[in-house]
Amino acid sequence: MAPARNQSLAEWRETNADPLRAEATPRPGAPNYSRCTDAESDSRSPAVELRGVSVRYKGVAALNGIDLAIRQGEFFSLLGSSGCGKTSTLNVIGGFVEPDAGDLLIEGRSMRHVPAHQRPSFRAMRCSRT
C-alpha cells in the first residue's frame, strides 16, 4: 500500500509499521535479551575457534590453514562458492571430520579426538539479563 498524495513517506511509515521490524515489548518479569554492546562483545571469548585447520580428502586440500573465531552470541554465516570449504568447516566443528592439522576449540577446550556425541551442545547464549 502506497502513501496517500497528501501524506509524507515518514507519516505513512509511522501508521503502517512493519511488524517484523517493530521492537518487541517484553512481558513483565521476562529477562531482557537485548543486543550486546560493542564493549560486551569485545570482552567475550570465542565459543568456537579454528586455529590453522587443514583437511585433505584423497590428497586434495579442502581446508588449508583456516583461522576462524566465532564469539558467544554472535550471528555468523559461511558464504562462498561451491567447493570452497563451507561444509568441510562445519563437519570439523561438528566432529564428523578430524582435521589433518590445526586445532578446534569449543568454549576454550580443544576438541581434537573428541567425538561428536561428547562435544558441548550449543545453546542460546545471552548477553545480559535484567
Domain contains 21: no
Domain contains 86: yes
For residue 50, what are the CA distances in angstroms to 7, 99, 104, 111, 115?
53, 10, 5, 10, 16
Q: How many CA atoms lie within 13 A of 43 on its CB side?
A: 7
The pLDDT profile of the chain, 130 residues, written as one tens digit per residue, is: 665 667 676 676 666 655 555 555 556 665 555 555 544 544 567 889 999 999 999 999 999 999 999 988 888 899 999 999 999 999 999 999 999 999 999 988 999 889 988 888 765 444 444 4
Rounded to the nearest 10°, the torsion over CA 103, 104, 108, 111 is -100
Domain contains 69: yes
What pLDDT does residue 105 have? Answer: 93
Q: Is residue 1 classed as helix, strand or coil in its secondary structure?
A: coil
What pLDDT does residue 96 have? Answer: 93
CATH number of domain containing 101: 3.40.50.300
- Which residues make beta-bridge pairs with 71? 46
Count of domains forming the chain: 1
Domain contains 77: yes
For residue 79, what are the domain limits?
38-111
In this structure, are residues 55 and 96 in contact, taking their beta carbons and an 8 Å threshold? no
Domain contains 104: yes
Question: At 126, which amino acid appears?
Answer: R
Residue 70: exposure state from Cβ atoms within 10 A (0-12, 13-18, ≥19): middle
What pLDDT does residue 50 have? Answer: 95
108: left (phi over 0), alpha (psi -120 to 50) or beta: left
Domain contains 3: no
What pLDDT does residue 30 have? Answer: 57
What pLDDT does residue 41 have? Answer: 47
What pLDDT does residue 63 have? Answer: 94
Domain contains 85: yes
